[in-house]
Chains A and B, each alone.
Chain A
Amino acid sequence: MQADSSLHLLRPFGEILVDTFIQQLVNGLTLGSVYGLIAIGYTMVYGIIGMINFAHGEVYMVSAYLAAISIAVLSFFGIDSFALIILGTLIFTIVVTGVYGLAIERVAYKPLRNSTRLAPLISAIGISLVLQNYVQISQGARQQGVPTLLEGTLRFSVGDGFVMITHTKLFILAAAIIGMLALTFVIKNTRLGRMCRATQQDRKMSQILGINTDRVISYVFVIGASMGALAGVLITLNYGTFDFYAGFIIGIKAFTAAVLGGIGSLPGAMLGGLILGVSEAQFSGVVNADYKDVFSFSLLVMILIFRPQGLLGRPQVTKV
């Protein structure tokens, strides 16, 4: 087939094959959807109390451990159907991580609600250190792993080459989309969602109108933690390995994604995650993996210069 050669795209750094391009797109989308899920935790908390929850990366890390514990327990009881294991693990991990989110909010942020803005930021960093060390001491510093649950790979021929997508990756994409849709539905169409939006727009006014804003803030932490837990389960399934330090890098990336998409905006978090994931993968593929982080952060700087509120964020009038 001579026609294949026409499928080659010319790139400034050499010829890139279509199959490579598509494969990198798949790589980027899976990574990016997970960034997006974690970014939701940052963006929701910021949207409602204007504070960056630096402990969120650690919440994700805790959920990876919980997922592994749940998978181990379910396998121990002889459950070997993927659907049952994953359902049980998701429910267990999301609920327990949600409790972690609630507890963190109660312990570290609620008492500081009316103090300076810096105080909860520092207590967030404190909580993140506490969680890291607590997991390191209770679970050990060793790398942890889970067995592959979902076997199998799809293989497509593209041009001269092929694109491979594992079933796990398809599952991640599907689960991330469903998770996002569910969250959007909750925020848009339920009583809880209305309370969240009202509190985000004007906390004092919502309070006057009879909304228990303290409780709403707690709910937001629980929702953020649950989305982090969903990401934790998905990543654990995909890479099969994690340690007590796993929340750090991915937390920073997700935070970047949240800022990129416009902090405070839900679709922005997901969009930011996808852009970050895809640009990292494509840049690694076309130029060099050594500089992929340099590239993504340059991208962030460029976007913030021209759109300081992020891609989908609303410009804010600062109260000085």
Chain B
Amino acid sequence: MKKIFKASTALPAAISMTLSMTAMADIKIGVGAPLTGPNAAFGEQIWRGAEQAAKDINAKGGVNGQQIVLVKGDDACEPKQAVAAANQLVDSAKVVAVIGHYCSSSTIPASEIYDEAQIVTITPASSAPSITERGLAGVFRMAGRDDQQGQVAADYIARNLKAKTVAVIHDKDTFGQGVADTTKASLKAEGVETVLYEGLTRGEKDFNAVVTKIRSSKADAVYFGGCHPEAGPLVRQMREQGVTIPFVTTDCTVTDQLVTTAGGKKYTDGVLMTFYPDPRNLDTGKAVVKEFRDAGYEPESYTLFSYASLQALAAAFSAIGGTDGNKASEWLKSHSVDTVLGNKSWNAKGDLKESPYVMYKWDADGKFGQL
């Protein structure tokens, strides 16, 4: 009884608090991310980044004299839940813009709802090309695109590795095959011939048959579109069969688990991959990174991407003097914004004009560094 009594008094109190906050809150921005589920770690990064950005912007007087209030929308990286969360953000919370989502499969359906409501969305992480290929005016990304990643890899293979022929392998997944296809197309444009194009099965560990094929194709380099669970065994089995040509792969292998799956540092030595330059090393973000670290939080991976997304939204709303979604997206497409990630500008589709990817290389100690 005591407990119920307590709860019943606490609840109205909480509601009245929320109400009073809403009354003060002038600009509501949704944060759509997987706050629960297997990708919750990334969801937290996105939430933390946005939260810190809102705090910093509000401390400087907010946007058009109004304070930013963030509203959580948990998608758990599931398309269905993403739609529910998006509807809730739009209909109940009445947000004027959204930062999100994380998984491309959530961003795609959720952004349809934001588009209908004519509000601006910036995804700090989703990289599937189709997100900005659907002609939705208000969809932007702070992340790269998978095909930009393929372009960077192809440039490197053609110009730095000076390869004439390449074997392109993928994992038959939307992401892996998508990147492999764009890399293959970019390689063709650079005059590099793809002599072998094969898919392997995710979850398998034996790729010896494909490796033998790579060997007999006499390619100068291998490009693998996929993630570390397959990249590790693949590169190991290549080296075991005496295939010593360069191995280039995607940002889906950026984890020390690549060394684990390959079975040792000697196998991953020299592996090349495309990835974002670590935003924590940028001059533009030093003050913010320090702020995070002082608060006892390491701004990993997507934290600063989320921070920058809110900065871009705030800049657009300040410039147009309101929160109109159409005007804000027009403004973003014709102006550039100074963010913690540097100066960013967007093309007509809502993609970053400059490809954010660079090449990384694994060394003999099982660490990777930017080239």
- Chain A positions near chain B (C-beta within 8 angstroms): 17, 19-20, 23-24, 27-28, 30-31, 141-148, 153, 155, 161-162, 164, 166, 235, 239-243, 245-246, 248-249, 280-282, 284-285, 288-290, 292-293
- Decide: B233 and A241 in contact? CB cutoff 8 A: yes
- Chain B positions near chain A (C-beta within 8 angstroms): 38, 172, 198-201, 203-206, 208-210, 212-213, 215-216, 228-229, 232-233, 236, 240-242, 257, 259-264
Residue of A nearest to B260 (CB): A145
Chain A residues within 8 Å of B212, by CB: 20, 23-24, 27, 281, 285
Residue of B nearest to A34 (CB): B206
- Decide: A248 and B203 in contact? CB cutoff 8 A: yes
A148 CB contact (under 8 Å) in B203, B209, B263: B263
- Decide: B204 and A142 in contact? CB cutoff 8 A: no
Residue of B nearest to A27 (CB): B208
Chain A residues within 8 Å of B38, by CB: 141
- Decide: A143 and B209 in contact? CB cutoff 8 A: no
- Decide: A241 and B261 in contact? CB cutoff 8 A: yes
- Decide: A143 and B260 in contact? CB cutoff 8 A: yes
CB distance from A265 to the nearest CB of B (A): 25
Interface centre among A17, A153, A249, A290 (most CB of B within 10 A): A290
CB distance from B211 to the nearest CB of A (A): 8
- Decide: B232 and A245 in contact? CB cutoff 8 A: no
B264 CB contact (under 8 Å) in A144, A240, A243, A280: A240
Interface centre among B200, B236, B240, B259 (most CB of A within 10 A): B240
Give Cα A243–Cα B210 distance, bound, in whole angstroms. 22
CB distance from B207 to the nearest CB of A (A): 8
Secondary structure type dominating chain B contacts: helix
Chain A residues within 8 Å of B203, by CB: 245-246, 248-249
- Decide: B201 and A143 in contact? CB cutoff 8 A: no
Residue of B nearest to A288 (CB): B198
Residue of B nearest to A286 (CB): B213
Residue of A nearest to B237 (CB): A239
Interface centre among B206, B260, B264 (most CB of A within 10 A): B206
- Decide: A285 and B213 in contact? CB cutoff 8 A: yes
Chain B residues within 8 Å of A27, by CB: 206, 208-209, 212
- Decide: B242 and A164 in contact? CB cutoff 8 A: yes
B209 CB contact (under 8 Å) in A24, A145, A162, A241: A24
A143-B228, A148-B264, A241-B260 in contact; A23/B205 too (CB < 8 A)? no
Chain A residues within 8 Å of B233, by CB: 239-241
Chain A residues within 8 Å of B216, by CB: 17, 19-20, 161
CB distance from B214 to the nearest CB of A (A): 10
Give Cα A293–Cα B202 distance, bound, in whole angstroms. 12
- Decide: B241 and A23 in contact? CB cutoff 8 A: yes
A143-B257, A153-B240 in contact; A289/B263 too (CB < 8 A)? no
Give Cα A27–Cα B228 distance, bound, in whole angstroms. 22
A241-B233, A290-B199 in contact; A281/B261 too (CB < 8 A)? no
Give Cα A166–Cα B267 distance, bound, in whole angstroms. 14
A143 CB contact (under 8 Å) in B204, B213, B232: B232
Chain B residues within 8 Å of A23, by CB: 212, 215, 241
